[in-house]
Amino acid sequence: MTEDKLPVEADASTAAPTASASASRPAPPRAGVASAIGSRLAALLLGAACIAWTATPVLPGGLAKTALTVAIIAVTAGALRLATADIPQPEDAYFLPGYLQAWLTFLALLRTLAWEETAAVAILWLEIQHPLRPWHTAALGAGLLAYLLATHIAESGADAGPLLRRQGRVLAAGACLLALGAGFAMIPASAPGVGSAILRVLAAAAVIAAAALVLPG
Amino acid sequence: MSADPGASSQVRAEEVAVSWRPSRHARRLFTLAAAALLLAVLTRNAALAGVAGPPLLLLGMARAGAGGARAGAGRVSGRSPGRPDRVSVRIGLTATRVYEGEPAAVDVTVQDGAGQDTAAPASAPPASATVPAGRPGPAEPGMGLDARHGARWALEPGKGIEPGSATAVNGPAARFTFAASRWGKRALGTVTLTLHDRWRLAEGRVTFTLPSVDCYPSPAVQRTTVVLSKLPNRLGEHRARVPGDGTEFMGVREFVPGDRQRAINWPASTRRGRLQVNTFAAERSQDVVLLVDATSDVGKPGESALDLGLRGAAGAARAYLDARDRVGVITYQWGGAHWLAPSLGRRPVYKIIDVLLTADTGYARGAVFSRLPRAALPPGSLVVAFSPLLDGRFVEALRDMRERGVALIVVDVLNADPPARRLFADVAARRIWRMEQDAIRFSLRELGVPVLPWDGVTTLDLPLAPYTRRPLMGRR
């Protein structure tokens, strides 16, 4: 019986004719299949774009290939998790046939593991396999943030417009920090050795901390 | 499920505490920032430190915003406007009693606990208030709460509940339509309300249990009724064989003092030369006892023998109560019998169905049931039994009733066979089982008990047709 249930995303505020009417008597939720598919597809495309961006040029090393494989698996699994988020668990899984139990185990695996975090770490790991390319890394940071935001919007059904407007100032400040980080990385070393490089990293971290303290909440 | 279930009545309103914790989004951002910073230090790449900037900024803003709001609000009311500690949730149901497959809806509305407590403490409607359709209700604070916190509802349907709409809804109020597929007391399940902070980096979750509904078996269609040949001396709508004050013409007899003048049949009086009066048949009612065998429940869930029995009994109860008969019910089960003495009117329908819902096929060892309770079986009543005739003791009880002179009709609701297998022993067992079943039915017919098979799909009028056209004899 539960296999027949096909719940979908919906937005009660869009289904109700007016705000007051929706408050007094909630309208039946309307299926927002198109918006749900759009946000999920956006998350998948952003993840794929991040992988493609950081994987080129393809490196021959074993670590790079491992990181690339892990990233591809994680982004794919994350997209599958979003795609199958609306499939409910059956009431009694004990008496189900083997193939259905295997499918349910697969769903549980998709929902248990932190695929997006794994993908982000793997992509960063793949990025550091390449020689230093500051602006490329900064763009990757923006892409990863967009990927995580799209994933959150897809899984929570939140309206993307108000959410991005609310966080607009901070995201703009974050973009400046990305640029600053890239700029710090491009400053030529004043002296040979490890010290000057670490100094640049610390300077970037200090700018981030200062921005967090200065920006109003 | 497309029909509008209508407006709901509030069944519960409660104020619940919200527990806040970092959201999944926050955990992902933290992972990205930590990994980027760690790799930046390890590889001495300042650009990676820049990658950690935006997520760290978001996390810092969320924390600073919540802390600042809490500190500022704490001086005033001790409550953080950024993250409400308590919210008020109202639950309404369009119906607390539904039939199988009948669509119903549950409405849930959230309000800011702060708004209700401080701004409108007396504006909450009473517990029985009905929410009118299309009117602005008292949930206006909820709109603000939704705008600030992006409320999201997720329904986890209970066992036997089939959702008819989306199970995840955004907004301050939500309506979840559902239908119960099988009779019984059904828990609707749970609803989880998720609130987010401004940055969507902290989420508050509230899970509450929805009320239960009584799902009644969908009554079978029965338009005709079986009427006994000998009816008790009680006013009703069935034509009796004795003269009385009814409206149906019965015959003509000679006038005796005391007869009403308006009953004089003038043409007959003219022909015979003496005054003749019309006589009319008396109109009586009967006692009908519906006997449901709940000792065994075989067949597919939803179409089992017990399902058919309950649906048939519910339909028969409606039909006989519509005919102004007194209807009682007995559910015969291993732990004993639940019964309801015959009564008249519309209200007993629900009482009867409530008794039917107590039917339980659970095994109770040591239950000996040789005779049905006398109080449940008034003399001269018509007994309509719904049974798969699988329990020997129930068959014995039927024989016993028949030998006591009770007018009895058995509606056979067995619609399942043992599984067909190729092994010789299985085939032989199946044949023996079938012969045994035939023998049980034959022995009942020999006693004068009609056994009428019913598949649960057709109306009950079809198997009962031979007995609805003429009165049923009670005693032999």
A72 in B contact zone (CB under 8 Å) = no
pLDDT of B85 > 60? The answer is: yes
Percent pLDDT > 70 in chain A is: 69
* B187-245 pLDDT per residue, tens: 888 988 888 887 788 888 888 888 889 898 899 999 988 888 888 777 777 887 778 88
Mean pLDDT confidence for B333-350 = 76
Cα dist from B63 to A187, A207, B59, B79, B83, whole Å: 33, 19, 6, 16, 12
| Whole-number pLDDT of residue B117 | 35
Strand-pairing partners, residue A10, are: A31, B169
The three-state (H, E, C) secondary structure of chain B, written as one string: CCCCCCCCEEEEEEEEECEEEECHHHHHHHHHHHHHHHHHHHHCCHHHHHHHHHHHHHHHHHHHHHHHHHHHHHCCCCCCCCCCCEEEEEEEECCCEEECCCCEEEEEEEEEHHHHHHHCCCCCCCCCCECCCCCCCCCHHHHHHHHHHCCEEEEEECCCEEECCCCEEECCEEEEEEEECCCEEEECEEEEEEEECCCCCEEEEEEEECCEEEEECCCCCCCCCCCECCCCCCEEEEEEEEEEEEEEEEEEEECCCCCCHHHECHHHHHHHCCCEEEEEEEEECCEEEEEEECCCCCCCCCCCHHHHHHHHHHHHHHHHHHCCCEEEEEEEECCEEEEEEEECCCCHHHHHHHHHHCCCCCCCCCCCCCCCCHHHCCCCCEEEEEECCCCHHHHHHHHHHHHCCCEEEEEECCCCCCCCCCCHHHHHHHHHHHHHHHHHHHHHHHCCCCEEECCCCCCCHHHHHHHHCCCECCCC
Most confidently modeled of B148-152, B284-288, B340-344, B439-443? B439-443
Give chain A positions within 8 Å (CB) of B176.
29
pLDDT of B177 > 80? The answer is: yes
Give chain A positions within 8 Å (CB) of B28.
114, 116-117, 120, 148, 151-152
Query: How far is it, in rounded angstroms, from Cα B28 to Cα B34?
Result: 10
Taking a C-beta distance cutoff of 8 angstroms, is the pair B278, B263 a contact? yes
Mean pLDDT confidence for B81-88 = 76
Mean pLDDT confidence for B116-125 = 34
Residue B307, number of CB atoms within 10 A of its CB: 22
Query: How far is it, in rounded angstroms, from Cα B63 to Cα B86?
Result: 20
Strand-pairing partners, residue B15, are: B88
A112 in B contact zone (CB under 8 Å) = no
Mean pLDDT confidence for A107-136 = 91
Mean pLDDT confidence for B148-168 = 81
Most confidently modeled of A186-200, B362-376, B388-402, B452-466? B452-466
Q: Tell me the shortest Cα–Cα distance from A99 to chain B, in angstroms.
A: 22
| Banded model confidence at residue A61, pLDDT cuts 50, 70, 90 | confident
Q: How far apart are the first and last CA of chain A?
A: 49
| Whole-number pLDDT of residue B406 | 85
Taking a C-beta distance cutoff of 8 angstroms, is the pair B238, B323 a contact? yes
Residue with the bigger pLDDT between B72 and B153: it is: B153
* A165-176 pLDDT per residue, tens: 877 877 887 888
Judge if ipTM > 0.85: no
pLDDT of B141 > 50? The answer is: no
Taking a C-beta distance cutoff of 8 angstroms, is the pair B406, B379 a contact? no
pLDDT of A119 > 80? The answer is: yes
Give chain B positions within 8 Å (CB) of A200.
44, 46
| Whole-number pLDDT of residue B397 | 83
| Whole-number pLDDT of residue A165 | 83
Query: How far is it, in rounded angstroms, from Cα B315 to Cα B127?
Result: 33
Pairing of strands B86-93, B9-17: antiparallel
Taking a C-beta distance cutoff of 8 angstroms, is the pair A23, B142 a contact? yes
pLDDT of A7 > 50? The answer is: no
B50 in A contact zone (CB under 8 Å) = yes
| Whole-number pLDDT of residue A91 | 66
Subunit contact A91:B39, Cβ cutoff 8 A: no
| Whole-number pLDDT of residue B146 | 57
B107 in A contact zone (CB under 8 Å) = yes
pLDDT of A53 > 80? The answer is: yes
B34 in A contact zone (CB under 8 Å) = no
Strands lying side by side in the sheet with B9-17: B9-17, B86-93, B104-112, B173-180, B161-163
Please name which of B104, B127, B125, B107 lies closest in space to residue B116, comparing C-alpha atoms.
Answer: B125
Interface of B with A in 338-397 (CB under 8 A): none
Would you call B261 exposed, middle or buried from its count of C-beta atoms within 10 A (0-12, 13-18, 19+)? exposed
pLDDT of A122 > 80? The answer is: yes
Query: How far is it, in rounded angstroms, from Cα B92 to Cα B210?
Result: 9
| Whole-number pLDDT of residue A210 | 67
Upstream peptide bond of A57 is cis (omega within 30 degrees of 0): yes
Which residues have C-beta within 8 Å of that of residue A174, sequence separation ≥ 6?
A: A145, B53, B54, B55, B57, B58
The token duo for B246 is 């009814």
Mean pLDDT confidence for B311-334 = 87
Residue with the bigger pLDDT between B475 and B327: it is: B327
| Banded model confidence at residue A160, pLDDT cuts 50, 70, 90 | confident
The DSSP code sequence of chain A is -GGG----EEEHHHHSSSHHHHHHSPPPPPB-HHHHHHHHHHHHHHHHHHHHHHHPSPP-SHHHHHHHHHHHHHHHHHHHHHHTTTPPPPS--TTS-HHHHHHHHHHHHHHHS-HHHHHHHHHHHHHHTSPP-HHHHHHHHHHHHHHHHHHHHHHHT--HHHHHHHTHHHHHHHHHHHHHHHHHHHSPPSSSSHHHHHHHHHHHHHHHHHHHHHS--
Identity of the residue in A23, A134, A148 whose CB atom sits nearest the CB atom of B139: A23
Subunit contact A117:B27, Cβ cutoff 8 A: yes
B56 in A contact zone (CB under 8 Å) = yes
Please name which of A166, A45, A4 lies closest in space to residue B61, comparing C-alpha atoms.
Answer: A166
Give chain A positions within 8 Å (CB) of B140.
20, 23
Q: Which residues of B174-184 are buried (b: 16+ CB within 10 A; e: fewer)?
A: bbbbbbbebbb
Interface of A with B in 88-107 (CB under 8 A): 88, 91
Query: How far is it, in rounded angstroms, from Cα B409 to Cα B407?
Result: 7
| Whole-number pLDDT of residue B79 | 42
* B256-303 pLDDT per residue, tens: 999 888 889 999 999 999 999 999 888 888 889 998 888 888 888 888
Residue B39, number of CB atoms within 10 A of its CB: 20
Mean pLDDT confidence for A181-200 = 67
Cα dist from A9 to A158, B199, B398, whole Å: 10, 22, 55
| Banded model confidence at residue B371, pLDDT cuts 50, 70, 90 | low
| Ramachandran bin of B150, using left for φ above 0, alpha for ψ from -120 to 50, beta for the remaining angles | left
pLDDT of B449 > 60? The answer is: yes
Mean pLDDT confidence for B119-139 = 35
| Whole-number pLDDT of residue B350 | 78
| Banded model confidence at residue A189, pLDDT cuts 50, 70, 90 | low
Give chain A positions within 8 Å (CB) of B162.
1, 4-5
pLDDT of B355 > 60? The answer is: yes
Query: How far is it, in rounded angstroms, from Cα A43 to Cα A47?
Result: 6
Subunit contact A156:B41, Cβ cutoff 8 A: no
Nearest residue of chain A to residue B63 (CA atoms): A217
- Mean pLDDT score of chain B: 79
* B384-437 pLDDT per residue, tens: 999 999 988 888 888 888 888 888 999 999 988 888 788 888 889 999 999 999
Give chain A positions within 8 Å (CB) of B39.
124-125, 128
| Whole-number pLDDT of residue A192 | 60
Percent pLDDT > 90 in chain B is: 19
B129 in A contact zone (CB under 8 Å) = no
| Banded model confidence at residue A115, pLDDT cuts 50, 70, 90 | very high
A199 in B contact zone (CB under 8 Å) = no
| Banded model confidence at residue B147, pLDDT cuts 50, 70, 90 | low
pLDDT of B134 > 50? The answer is: no
| Whole-number pLDDT of residue B136 | 33
Give chain A positions within 8 Å (CB) of B175.
12, 25-29
The token duo for B402 is 């028949």
